[in-house]
């Protein structure tokens, strides 16, 4: 009679393993292999933040089915970044939520080791701009969505965006030095 609980335990364990494996098989990387490589190559915080921002922009383009108006630049980007990510709207929004989370983690990590690092402010301000844009784009989608997965991913993305915006508010207005640096910077081509 003592074997019955053991068999129940084994049956439960096997069932749990199968469902766990199925969940793992359905998991999705939030960055493409090319994007992962670009993140790894970008060891400086502000450069890494720019990679995260570009990855978010690529998902927005994929969601909206749009391409940049400059076909030559789009082709050049495709060589470096690969094809636009594919997936359902819910999956692409989930990617955005996880990319924001990774960007936040990177900023927190640098802050923990060097809270006076000037790249913290620079990176946070860049992310703040993207977060505000995401907030205006994702809020109406969330209000209209009926998909539980999509709603959950939108809520997570908005929560991450709000965390970024709240942290950026604590920075105060940009200093004159930050404003000057931004004006003198040449656009990337």
Question: What token pair was written down for 2?
Answer: 């003592």
pLDDT digits (tens, 9 = 90+) for 106-119: 999 999 999 889 99
| Alpha carbon distance 160, 166 (integer Å) | 10
In which band, very low, low, confident or very high, does the pLDDT at 181 lie, cut at 50, 70 and 90?
low
pLDDT digits (tens, 9 = 90+) for 32-86: 999 999 999 999 999 999 999 999 999 999 998 887 777 787 788 888 998 889 9
Mean pLDDT of the residues in the chain: 82
The pLDDT value recorded for residue 187 is 40
Mean per-residue pLDDT for 6-23? Answer: 45
């Amino acid at each position: 009679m003592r074997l019955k609980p053991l068999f129940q335990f084994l049956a439960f364990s096997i069932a749990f393993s199968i469902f766990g494996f199925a969940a793992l098989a359905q998991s999705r990387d939030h960055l493409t292999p090319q994007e992962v490589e670009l993140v790894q190559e970008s060891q400086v915080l502000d450069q890494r933040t720019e990679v995260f921002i570009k990855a978010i922009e690529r998902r927005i383009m994929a969601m909206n089915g749009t391409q940049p108006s400059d076909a030559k630049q789009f082709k050049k980007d495709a060589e470096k970044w690969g094809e636009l990510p594919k997936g359902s709207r819910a999956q692409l929004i989930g990617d955005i939520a996880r990319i924001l989370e990774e960007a936040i983690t990177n900023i927190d990590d640098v802050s923990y080791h060097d809270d006076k690092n000037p790249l913290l402010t620079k990176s946070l301000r860049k992310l703040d701009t993207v977060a505000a844009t995401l907030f205006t784009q994702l809020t109406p989608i969330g209000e209209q969505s009926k998909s539980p997965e999509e709603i959950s991913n939108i809520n997570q993305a908005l929560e991450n965006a709000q965390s970024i915006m709240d942290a950026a508010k604590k920075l105060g207005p940009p200093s004159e030095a930050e404003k000057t640096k931004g004006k003198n910077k040449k656009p990337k081509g």
